[in-house]
Structure 1
């Protein structure tokens, strides 16, 4: 009997040791827990879905400080939030810029194809609530380099009618273009084009007012060579203003041509 008790006692003493060892082995072999924010420095929950939807499920994405995004700390006017984008030349040639806003009901603001311009752009957009603002720059190797900034806002920019829609004057100036070409940009030998296109830019989120927005603009030189191309979306501000930079002044002035989503044509020439 005493032998049986001693044997049972030894077995009971060994089992806890074996069990804890097995757990330690299993823990060591477990894969690391994936980062739900995918490295996002702003830790935004919508970002993983946004990345897959707009950049592609298999896209290579890198957070990159060379994609510089500047905006206000607080959007005093959520219908006209100024954003400027500049990509450091050290990144190399950039084929496309895409601007995305995590917490807007319509997340894509614009796509910019520099063509013969510099990867630099400034514009204004509507912001529905405080949100990260992203700019993804695609290089020739297909990699998306992403820069971000955070803009606080009281909100409501996407769900309120613009001034010209409220007073009905939008139809009198629809498609008119005004602008100026600055042939001297500090620190460069290039030029800067600043232009405004008159358009109500309706988001479609105001009752009884369908989406109505500029969907394409092309900047061309006097010989009709394309210098830059922009695809616009609903969140661009009413009567949007854009700034483009060129490494050299355009030859023979500038032509601006484009369309809106209703097929209205935009065309203008700036000497």
Structure 2
């Protein structure tokens, strides 16, 4: 039950993209005053008003939004947000401006590094952004446009077409590896249709929360998901865990189905922390 596929991020396959090209971050505006969007998204103002809690916002190239240059599958588009060069990050959002469900991930960070990877749906050409909230309540944002054929949110999941989705609810796999410099990369895979509600006669249905804890109940982080995350979700974080520690995973979907697993951190030579 706790076996996992190889890590998603292969060297040379991903492209790091930033919302601004400047070498230094732009000075933060006053709270409630939005900076001009370098991506010129028509939804930028409403997106910021909805998700940034009125805190000061600025665009910062240290928020690394990493994804392929081409969306080969709009139903499962890999995205990584890496803010490990920024101190005091407490929260990460993954956003796709022009999706009907613009927020995919809301990651509340505890004893973990500020980095997360997953796969999301793309309904059309859109900016894909990472937004990180600092301890003082301010937000830093990065991202870029991605071209997509569209329909990722309105296409029926493969498991719905096959008709076997109900047989696999509650199933998950996980694995954890120590990384150089300390910590452990934790990779989780869930079986779930992640229905958006935009397919005829199929109601919204998705995994809504996943928490990861360690020895003594130490919280590594909580990940709140929306149906914009791809079918059979994949999540990768870097927890502040040691070889031999056991990561306890607890998830629940919108119908009350529980996902539970205990994932031991392997005792092996640490892998690079990328």
Match of 1:249 in 2: 242
- Contact persistence 1:71–1:149 (CA under 8 A): no
- Specify which structure has the higher proportion of helix: 1
Aligned to 1:20: none
2:92 paired with 1:97:
yes
Cα pair 2:35 2:58 within 8 Å, conserved: no
SS in 1 for 2:201: coil
Mapped partners of 1:63, 1:38: distance in 2: 8
In 2: Cα distance, 1:224 partner to 1:190 partner: 17
**Do the aligned partners of residues 264 and 195 (structure 1) sit closer, same or farther apart at CA in structure 2, a change above 3 Å counting?**
same
Match of 1:153 in 2: 148
Note if 1:40 corresponds to 2:37. yes
Q: Confirm whether residue 237 of structure 1 aligns to residue 237 of structure 2.
A: no
Gap runs ≥5 in structure 1 = 1-36
Question: Could you tell me how far apart the structure 2 residues matched to 1:71 and 1:80 are?
Answer: 12
1:80–1:126 CA contact under 8 A, matched in 2: yes
Aligned-pair CA distance for 1:250 = 6.7
Higher relative contact order (CA 8 A, sep 6+): 2
Distance apart, 1:233 and its partner CA: 0.2
Flag the 1:256–1:248 CA change in 2: closer, same or farther, 3 A.
closer
Matched, 1:128 2:123: yes
2:220 touches 2:240 (CA, 8 Å); kept in 1? no
Spell out, residue by residue over 1:153-174, the C-alpha distance to the aligned partner (whole angstroms, 9 max, x if none).
1111000111111111111111
Q: Is the 8 A contact 1:221 1:250 kept in 2?
A: no
Q: Distance in 2 between matches of 1:88 and 1:223?
A: 26
Aligned length: 232
Q: Answer whether contact 1:223 1:252 (CA < 8 A) is retained.
A: no
The Cα offsets for residues 176-203 of structure 1, whole Å up to 9 and x where unpaired, read as: 11011112x2x43221011101111000
Question: What is the alpha-carbon root mean square deviation over aligned residues?
Answer: 1.6
Q: What runs of 5+ residues in structure 2 fail to find an aligned partner? A: 1-33, 265-274
Aligned-pair distance for 1:251? 6.0
| Residue in structure 1 matching 2:256, options 249, 263, 271 | 263
Aligned to 2:28: none
> What are the superposed Cα offsets for residues 76-127 of structure 1, whole Å, 9 maximum, x if unpaired?
10000000110033x2111111111111011111100120010001100100
Report the secondary structure of 2:188's partner residue: strand
Q: Distance in 1 between matches of 2:249 and 2:239?
A: 15
Determine which structure has more spread, i.e. the larger CA radius of gyration.
1
Cα shift at 1:223: 2.9
TM-score in terms of structure 2 length: 0.81
Q: CA deviation at 1:39?
A: 1.8
Q: 2:139 aligns with which of 124, 144, 151?
A: 144
Change (3 A) 1:149 1:250: farther
